[in-house]
Amino acid sequence: MIEAFVSGFWQVLAWPAFGYLLIGITVGFFVGLLPGIGGLATLALMLPFSYTIKEPVPAFCFLLGMLAVTGTTGDLTSILFGIPGEGSSAALILDGYPMSKKGEAGRALGAAIMSSLIGSVVGALALALSIPIMRPLVLLFGSPELFIIVIMGITFIGTLSGRSMMKGLLAGGAGLMLAAIGVDPQTGSLRYTFGNLYLWDRLDLVPVVVGLFAIPEIVDLAVRGTSIAGSKPEKLTGVWDGVVDNFRHFWLVMRCSLIGVYFGVLPVLGANVAQWISYAHAVRGLKDKNAAGKGAVEGVLGPGAATTSTRGGDLIPTVAFGIPGSGSMALLLGALLIVGLQPGPEMLKTRLDVTFAMVWILIIANIIVCGVCFLILNQLAALTFIRGHLLIPFLLFFVFIGSFTANNSYGDLIVTLIFGVMGYLMVLFQWPRPPLILGVTLGKIAENYLWISTAAYGAKWLLFPSVVILIMITIVTVAYPTIKERTGRARYERPGDAI
């Protein structure tokens, strides 16, 4: 065991593996920064290049190294421009972008990068440690439990909308409705497709997220006519300050990392969901409830850690069962087969060193990218002081190119525009956007798991102990603030119109 652990380390650092790792990191760095173009699509494009690499560890250095850093650099775009660099970085916008507007971009970036690093290390260690208990971990939750978790997620986010909890829940419901667009998997009937083939496949998340979050920010920037950080360029707040924030809120970062790991392990759910759950968790713990959404560093630390730690979690079912935990892992599984490895219990016995090499790749890739980021963070933060008029053309260009690459379809551009307008109106009338996004993300999953649960167990699943417990947690979460307020024991301040 120890031998394989050490051997994995040296295999990653050996030549040419390390060279491939650097190439992967470079590609992933830019893919992460650019909005829309995601890790999954890039992995698919890069897969053929890995065919020429004969050895497993160098091939993984290239692919996994690339994937590992996209989440990290995606956070940077979210913080600097309010545009999600990756689908899984959208939650970083909520508090990260307001920090940039306050001139605290440096601190936000420092906090995000450091929390990403911690998250990735936790994810990697979880992968290493969970090898003996992988099976029960993955099999713990069936469709009924997953359905309740999904509902719980939407409810959590909905209740975060402070005084307008009803608005939050309604936005979540609207998201669920939007997710109904497309071919219904149970009967094959077409819902809300209006004879349009593009709509058969449901709304793609990338154009929806980019439209909803990026367009309103760009419009806002144009209207204000200043730079992102406002007209008065103060001294940059320190990157180091953000790094230290991670240790001020160390346990928060750890908890959010673990949330990420577990959402990575669960099938279908992944970084896209984990970011919001951990954001909700982070913001709930704020002492000043009104600070959320106005640039609280906790709102950056939580999702920053969770998105990178999902990578480790994702790998657990992929390696243990040969069952991928997410889309990108399904592609990685293909790569495993090509280099002649059969993921699953056999591989853990015969090539444990490769598994540990993966752990090391996750860690080393993130250390390198963090190092690079720290070198250029101050320059990046300076971008927020460039006049908006100069930035906007570039931002718009990347927003639409990014959306278009989701399906190479003009439909993506139209969806971006529609959700851009919708996002702007929501900001204007103070409706929260995250519940809507979460509803769209989880709608299909919720529907499917509800259907599967009912088809497989009838109504009996509602009485499963695990399900009952999860339902109770959900109810308590919703009711707690109200009850506390009524009893008046302590004046409980709800979070402001944070999100």
Residues making contact with another protein (CB under 8 A): 41, 43-45, 47-48, 51, 138-139, 142-143, 183, 185-189, 195, 197-198, 200-201, 267-268, 317, 321-324, 330-331, 334, 337-338, 340, 342-346, 407-409, 445, 447-449, 451-452, 455-456
Q: How far apart are CA 349 and CA 298, in angstroms?
A: 41
Cβ-based nearer residue to another protein, 299 or 343? 343
| Residue 389: count of CB within 10 angstroms of its CB | 12
For another protein, the closer CB: 42 or 161: 42
In the complex, the smallest distance separating the C-beta of residue 193 from another protein, rounded to whole angstroms, is 9
**Closer CB to another protein, 373 or 440, in the complex:** 440
CB of 238 to another protein, least distance (A): 42
Q: Give the 3-state secondary structure of the chain.
A: CHHHHHHHHHHHHCCCHHHHHHHHHHHHHHHHHCCCCCHHHHHHHHHHHHCCCCCHHHHHHHHHHHHHHHHHHHHHHHHHHCCCCCHHHCHHHHHHHHHHHCCCHHHHHHHHHHHHHHHHHHHHHHHHHHHHHHHHHHHCCCHHHHHHHHHHHHHHHHHCCHHHHHHHHHHHHHHHHHHCCEECCCCCCEECCCCCHHHHHCCCHHHHHHHHHHHHHHHHHHHHCCECCCCCCCCCCCHHHHHHHHHHCHHHHHHHHHHHHHHHHCCCCCHHHHHHHHHHHHHHCCCCHHHCCCCCCHHHHHHHHHHHHHHHHHHHHHHHHCCCCCHHHHHHHHHHHHCCCCCCHHHHHHCHHHHHHHHHHHHHHHHHHHHHHHHHHHHHHHHHHCEHHHHHHHHHHHHHHHHHCCCCCHHHHHHHHHHHHHHHHHHHCCCCCHHHHHHHHHHHHHHHHHHHHHHHHCCHHHHCHHHHHHHHHHHHHHHHHHHHHHHCCCCCCCCCCCC
Least distance from another protein to the Cβ atom of residue 337, Å: 5
- Of 5 and 49, CB closest to another protein: 49
- The CA-based angle 375-379-380, given to 5 degrees, is 95
Q: Which is nearer to another protein, 140 or 469 (CB)?
A: 140
The smaller minimum CB distance to another protein, of residues 381 and 445, is found at 445
**What minimum distance in Å lies between the beta carbon of 457 and another protein?**
8
Q: Which is nearer to another protein, 177 or 268 (CB)?
A: 268
Shortest distance (Å) from residue 463 CB to another protein: 16
Minimum gap (Å) between residue 23 Cβ and another protein: 19
User: For another protein, which is the closer residue by CB, 179 or 331?
Assistant: 331
- Give 197 or 390: the residue with its C-beta nearer to another protein: 197
Q: Which residue has the tokens 């860690």?
A: 363
**CB 409 to another protein: min, Å:** 7
Q: Which is nearer to another protein, 185 or 285 (CB)?
A: 185
Strand partners, 191: 182
Query: Is the CB of residue 498 less than 8 Å from the CB of residue 286?
Result: no
CA distance 134 to 269: 17
Q: CB 117 → another protein: shortest distance, Å?
A: 28
**Cα gap 328→87, rounded to integer Å:** 13
Smallest distance from another protein to CB 321, Å = 5
CB of 22 to another protein, least distance (A): 24
Of residues 408 and 487, the one with the C-beta less far from another protein: 408
Q: How far is the CB of 20 from another protein (least distance, A)?
A: 19
Residue 91, class by beta-carbon neighbours within 10 Å (0-12 exposed, 13-18 middle, 19+ buried)? buried
Nearest approach in angstroms of CB 416 to another protein is 17
8 A C-beta contact, residue 439 and residue 172: yes
Smallest gap from Cβ 167 to another protein, in A, equals 30
* Nearest-10 Cα torsion for 413, 418, 419, 421: 120
C-beta closer to another protein: residue 100 or 318: 318
Q: Give 64 or 368: the residue with its C-beta nearer to another protein.
A: 64
